[in-house]
Amino acid sequence: MRKTFTFCTFLFVSLLVLAQNPCPQVIPALQQWTGGKGTLTLPAQGSIVINTADKDVLYDAATILAQDLKELLGWEYAIRIGKVKNNEIYLSLSKPDEQLGEEGYVLRIANRVNVEAPTAKGVFWGTRTLLQMLYHQKAKLAKGTTRDWPEFPNRGFMLDVGRKFFTLDYLKEQIKVLSFYKMNEFQIHLNDNGFPQFFDNDWNKTYAAFRLESERFPGLTAKDGSYTKKEFTELQRMGMVYGVNIIPEIDIPAHSLAFTHYKPEIGTQEYGMDHLDLYKEDTYKFVDALLDEYLSGEEPVFIGPDVHIGTDEYNKKEAEQYRYFTDRYLKYVASYGKTPRMWGGLKWLPGKTPVQAEGVTVNAWSFDWVDPEVSIKEGYKLINTCDTYLYIVPGAGYYREFLDHQWLYEKWTPWMMNRKQTLPVGTPGVLGGMFAVWNDQCGNGISQQDVHYRSFPAIQVMAERMWKGDNQQEVPFSEFEALCKTMPEAPGVNLLGRIGEETSLLTEEATLNGKESIETSLQEVGYPYAVSFSICPDEKPNISGVLFKGPHSTVYTNWENTGRIAFTRDGYEFAFGSFILPVGQWTDITIKGDWKGTSLYVNGKLQERLEGRKKRVYNPKYNRLESMPIQETLVFPLQYIGDNINGFKGKLKNVKVLQE
């Protein structure tokens, strides 16, 4: 009997284990999961309930969750304070928990959903997991409990908006994307400049921009795109409620051509006008006043805990003065109660002049420029931003177009500080990692969505590595990659222009008079795609008549009265120069686009491919020819056919969209 009982008990336990729900697939993966039995199906109309004692702290999280449920699933959820019932979502704070820390949470799914954490941020991260589970499991939640927390506290993305302008709406959407994947830092590089060889080797002609409104220095702010103080403060506030720390960066004393364009007397001719003159009193007066404008007062513009001052890539001849300058402004930023950040540069610029280390965070970006072991010993905190592995520079031909997602998933950790130094696991002072997008090639035609096409998969894999850590034994890269492709960018965000399946937008013949438009069911379609239509322009077409229009781009017929098809986006204009669209007769047109370029097909045959054009220049500094590839890409606009002011005149039919 003993043997029989033991065997039956073993069989029962084995069956019980087998009946437990497997770990839900989310990004980043969960640290711990205890599976239950069965599923919970939440109603399409329901309630988010906040614990009464926590209503003030958790109301923002509940509000965003309700909005996201609407965006992601079309659900209508009301917010209520008090006791929770079955089939509801309950948010509450719990006691401090050393393992969960500042960002961890517990998510329990039984007859209702409970999200609890020691902090409001932890609860918010729990709601991100819940949303992903609902989306991936098609609203049927596997019962069970997760305890989840990040391996690294700092998980970030840096975007260069100095060399290429990104709209405020784009930055807001990036906050949502980062938040959806529990990435908690967004560094915004606010000023920079191009390379003079692409601007007639003339510093005065070389592109440079500072993107913030300045009242103390009227005329300093870029004319082709900027943010008001109010907009930038509100952006930081939005980041706070989404769990994302916005880190403003004003890059000095190199990369500073925007400042010397405004005030030439503070630039140095010896090292190039993108270098501030570190010996002039006027330089320090200007930088003091500029930083003070955003840091001082009862309502400062920079409201977050961190401010970045750049300080990289200055000429090596001025190491001592560079170190003095860096030390001065680290202390200056700290005097306003902020944690100063800088790019690592002290290895390349060694000297006797001490530089503040206590309370300073360093982006460890280059083996040549920063020694992580020395930096930690001196007291700096490090964020791994290794250029070899974590830099994207679109169209440049150096660094990367896309991060190596498989290598990052299978091999990389933030302890790999550069190609030659890997610190021991657990080394104090390493806060985490950050990848960066640099837009070095000013004027190369790159679009915001081209950048997003490169950065979004990087966000997913970096989030996985820095929150979960090594998970390849449980989930091979092929499975992770497949999961990435099925996950949304974030609730309400579709910068990739995913449409799901082939769509017919206009089947029957429509006649447009040039002063009307047809709204479609799609906004735009992203790479790779094919948009086909039959078109018969009027005998007297509008000049540059709008054929298709969307949130980010426009397609025209009779461009500048040439009869050509063209498109615009991000301030750039592109035309198919080899084909004139005949008036008064039908032509079958297909436009295909991918991340490399755009193709025009006429009556089924390839007419022209926009890809491969380069701007070639001579660089006297290195006595060589250099080239800048032009990005002639298009995320195709579909929101409107025609335009109410200056639209296409003629007939159109058989408008079809296929995402390949």
Looking at 402-492, list the stretches that DSSP marks H as alpha helix, in order from N- to C-terminal side.
405-410, 448-463, 477-486
Residue with tokens 């169209």: 395
411's tokens? 């091999």
Residues ≥6 apart with Cβ < 8 Å to 230: none
Residue 491 maps to a domain: no
The CATH number of residue 543's host domain is: 2.60.120.200
Q: Which of 474, 542, 451 is nearest to 189 (CA)?
A: 451
Residue 496 maps to a domain: no
Between CA 181 and CA 177 the distance in angstroms is 7
End-to-end CA distance of the chain: 64
**Domain-ending residue, one of 116, 148, 180:** 148
Residue with tokens 């944690």: 339
Between CA 197 and CA 206 the distance in angstroms is 8
Both 508 and 367 in one domain: the answer is no
Both 93 and 173 in one domain: the answer is no
Cα–Cα distances in angstroms (integers) from residue 418 to residues 388, 414, 434, in the given order: 7, 10, 13
- Number of domains forming the structure of the chain: 3
Both 83 and 119 in one domain: the answer is yes
On whether the CB atoms of residues 472 and 409 are closer than 8 A, the answer is yes
Q: How many CB atoms lie within 10 A of CB 105?
A: 26
Both 119 and 166 in one domain: the answer is no
Both 78 and 183 in one domain: the answer is no
Both 284 and 359 in one domain: the answer is yes
**Domain-ending residue, one of 486, 521, 536:** 486
Both 306 and 446 in one domain: the answer is yes
Phi/psi for 647 (5° steps) reads -105, 180
Both 175 and 220 in one domain: the answer is yes
Per the DSSP assignment, residues forming a β-bridge with 643 are: 516
Both 196 and 337 in one domain: the answer is yes
Between CA 27 and CA 29 the distance in angstroms is 5
Residue 618 maps to a domain: yes
Between CA 441 and CA 16 the distance in angstroms is 59
Please give the helix or strand (H or E) that residue 295 lies within, else none.
helix 281-295
Which one-letter DSSP state was computed for residue 198?
Answer: G
Amino acid identity of residue 217, one-letter, is F
Both 390 and 522 in one domain: the answer is no
Between CA 268 and CA 500 the distance in angstroms is 54
**Domain-ending residue, one of 104, 130, 148:** 148
432: left (phi over 0), alpha (psi -120 to 50) or beta: left
The CATH number of residue 303's host domain is: 3.20.20.80
Between CA 390 and CA 111 the distance in angstroms is 43
pLDDT 10s digits, 523-537: 999 999 999 999 999
- Residue ranges of the chain with per-residue pLDDT less than 70: 1-19
Q: How many CB atoms lie within 10 A of CB 564?
A: 19
pLDDT score for 652? 98
Residue 605 maps to a domain: yes
pLDDT score for 18? 52
Between CA 376 and CA 155 the distance in angstroms is 19
Residues ≥6 apart with Cβ < 8 Å to 515: 644, 645, 647
Contacts 24+ apart (CB under 8 A), 58-63: 58/91, 58/92, 58/93, 58/120, 58/123, 60/120, 60/124, 60/241, 61/91, 61/120, 61/123, 61/124, 61/127, 61/241, 62/91
Residue 9 maps to a domain: no
Residue 10 maps to a domain: no
556's tokens? 């025209």
Both 72 and 187 in one domain: the answer is no
pLDDT 10s digits, 409-457: 999 999 999 999 999 999 999 999 999 999 999 999 999 999 999 999 9
Both 476 and 508 in one domain: the answer is no
pLDDT score for 15? 39
Residue 497 maps to a domain: no
The CATH number of residue 68's host domain is: 3.30.379.10
Residue 11 maps to a domain: no
Which domain, by its residues, includes 27?
A: 18-148
